[in-house]
């Protein structure tokens, strides 16, 4: 009885597994190379798109700038800028100016009503005012200070402070009693020129 | 053993090369390219924003009524001039003093200097430290400020009138410091020393003026303008100009 002869070389199971594994690894390697290649292509493509866009913008910007720098539009722009700048400046200025005429008007009225004489004064743009004067009777001075601190004047005068109060010596020749000399400090609160408002010009 | 290693290397040559390529491409090609894209993207974004601004500006400029705004600017020249304009200022002050029955005893200008310098040299003796620092702060601002000293003499009532005129004068003037003293001989008279600030607005050109949006002329601006042109002009007389840079400009 003849025995069957196996002509095919025997492939072990391990060799079959190894070959499959090698094929898979190669496939993954090629796939990853392809993915990287695609990403690179996409990146370069996007870069080219951006570069083209940038060039297009440069050309359009140059055209727009040339249009703005044309004599007629330049004239219009200079006029508008000067106008708005000056109005802003004027607005700020009129709102910060102290209406000294109103302050002096009140001072004149208060001093003449209280029979106190004003000898010196100093006003500063911060609103600080110093009034130096003299009076004969303390009641006159009280009338004066009452006027500055009265309820109707709280929006005009604030921090009314007596800085110093001295009494002149008796005049030996005439026998006349010396006057009281005072130094009154206060803050004038009003700002802005009446009739000119600068509401929101700097918006 | 050597034969085995060579065989393994031959079998896995593709994955090894792929790994090497990926490892090299990512840090040396991909990441720098991404950075460049980021920068370019920002550049394009900014370029697009600037172009949009320019296009808006062109459309805004086309809506500007040049004639009307030129007339407004001409009127504003009397309120805040583009330069110091000393001669009309002196004429205006003299007119205001005359109308208030005041005598101007002294005026101290420093032509050619403005703001800080003028203040430091002309008014330093009469101003308090605090006021000087305030003026110094203002002097460094973009606007021009002509600061000068005026000394007037007259009654308190007339000084009040003078202030009232100064406050509504078309050439804007602000009094920064006022010092008054009663006359020793005539108690009804006072001598006043005023530190006056007359602003002017020189033309400015800073930064990307072309790309800057056109400033808006709002209704608040228009209303302020209407109020400003209602102020009184005390310099509405022609002041003749004389030759400059000569020995005698009046020849």
One domain for residues B163 and B109: yes
Q: Maximum Cα–Cα distance for chain B, whole Å?
A: 127
Say if residues A38 and B22 touch (Cβ distance below 8 Å).
no
Cα angle, residue B201 at apex, residues B199 and B203 outer, rounded to 5°: 165
Q: What percent of chain B has pLDDT over 90?
A: 40
Average pLDDT of A136-156?
A: 90
One domain for residues B113 and B36: no
pLDDT higher than 90, residue B88: no
CB-based contact, B24 to chain A, within 8 Å: no
Count how many domains chain B has: 2
Q: Do B177 and A58 touch (CB under 8 A)?
A: no
State the pLDDT at residue B112: 52
Mutate to test the interface with A, among B174, B205, B216 (most CBs of A within 10 A): B174
Q: What is the domain extent for residue B51?
A: 2-56
Cα angle, residue B184 at apex, residues B150 and B188 outer, rounded to 5°: 75
pLDDT in tens, A7-32: 656 666 777 777 788 888 888 888 98
Lay out the sheet containing A117-124: strands in order across.
A157-167, A180-188, A128-135, A117-124, B174-182, B190-200, B144-154, B103-108
pLDDT in tens, B158-210: 999 999 999 989 888 888 899 999 988 888 899 999 999 888 888 776 666 78
Q: Which CATH class is domain A100-188?
A: alpha beta
CATH assignment at residue B130: 3.30.70.60
Best CA proximity match to B176, nearest among B140, B143, B145: B145
pLDDT in tens, B219-250: 999 999 999 998 888 877 666 677 777 887 76
Q: Which residue of A has its CA nearest to B66?
A: A76
Q: Which residues of A touch B178 (CB under 8 A)?
A: 100, 121-124
**Where do the domains of chain A lie?**
100-188
One domain for residues B48 and B130: no
In a domain, B126, yes or no: yes
In a domain, B169, yes or no: yes
Q: Which residue has the higher pLDDT, B9 or A149?
A: A149
């Amino acid at each position: 009885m003849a025995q069957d002869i196996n002509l095919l070389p025997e492939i072990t199971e391990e060799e079959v597994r190894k070959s499959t594994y090698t094929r898979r690894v190669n496939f993954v390697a090629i796939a990853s190379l392809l993915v990287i290649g695609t990403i690179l292509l996409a990146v370069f493509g996007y870069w080219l798109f951006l570069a083209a866009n940038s060039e297009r913008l440069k050309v359009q910007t140059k055209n727009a700038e040339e249009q703005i720098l044309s004599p007629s539009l330049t004239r219009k722009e200079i006029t508008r800028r000067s106008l708005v700048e000056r109005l802003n400046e004027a607005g700020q200025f009129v709102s910060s100016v102290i209406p000294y005429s109103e302050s002096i008007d009140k001072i004149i009225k208060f001093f003449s009503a209280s029979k106190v004489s004003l000898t010196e004064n100093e006003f500063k743009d911060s609103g600080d005012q110093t009034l130096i004067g003299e009076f004969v009777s303390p009641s006159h001075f009280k009338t004066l200070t009452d006027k500055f601190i009265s309820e109707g004047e709280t929006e005009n005068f604030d921090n009314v402070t007596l800085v110093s109060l001295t009494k002149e010596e008796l005049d030996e020749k005439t026998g006349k009693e010396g006057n009281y000399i005072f130094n009154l400090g206060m803050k004038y609160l009003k700002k802005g020129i009446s009739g000119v408002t600068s509401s929101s010009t700097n918006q | 053993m050597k034969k085995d290693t060579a065989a393994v290397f031959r079998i896995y040559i593709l994955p090894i090369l792929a790994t090497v390529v990926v490892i090299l491409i990512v840090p040396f090609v991909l990441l720098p390219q991404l950075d460049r894209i980021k920068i370019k993207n920002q550049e394009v974004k900014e370029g697009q924003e600037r172009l949009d601004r320019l296009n808006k500006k062109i459309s805004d400029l086309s809506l500007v009524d040049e004639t009307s705004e030129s007339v407004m600017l001409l009127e504003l020249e009397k309120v805040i001039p583009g330069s110091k304009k000393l001669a009309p200022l002196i004429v205006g002050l003299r007119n205001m003093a005359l109308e208030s029955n005041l005598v101007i005893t002294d005026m101290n200008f420093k032509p050619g200097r403005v703001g800080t310098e003028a203040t430091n040299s002309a008014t330093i003796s009469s101003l308090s430290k605090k006021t000087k620092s305030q003026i110094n702060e203002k002097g460094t601002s973009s606007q021009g400020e002509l600061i000068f000293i005026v000394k007037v003499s007259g009654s308190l009532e007339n000084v009040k009138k003078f202030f009232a005129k100064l406050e509504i004068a078309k050439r804007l003037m602000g009094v920064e410091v006022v010092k008054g003293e009663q006359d020793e001989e005539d108690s009804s008279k006072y001598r006043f020393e005023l530190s006056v600030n007359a602003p002017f607005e020189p033309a400015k050109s800073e930064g990307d003026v072309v790309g800057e949006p056109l400033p808006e002329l709002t209704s608040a601006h228009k209303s302020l303008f209407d109020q400003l042109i209602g102020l009184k002009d005390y310099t509405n007389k022609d002041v003749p100009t004389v030759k400059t840079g000569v020995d005698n400009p009046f020849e």
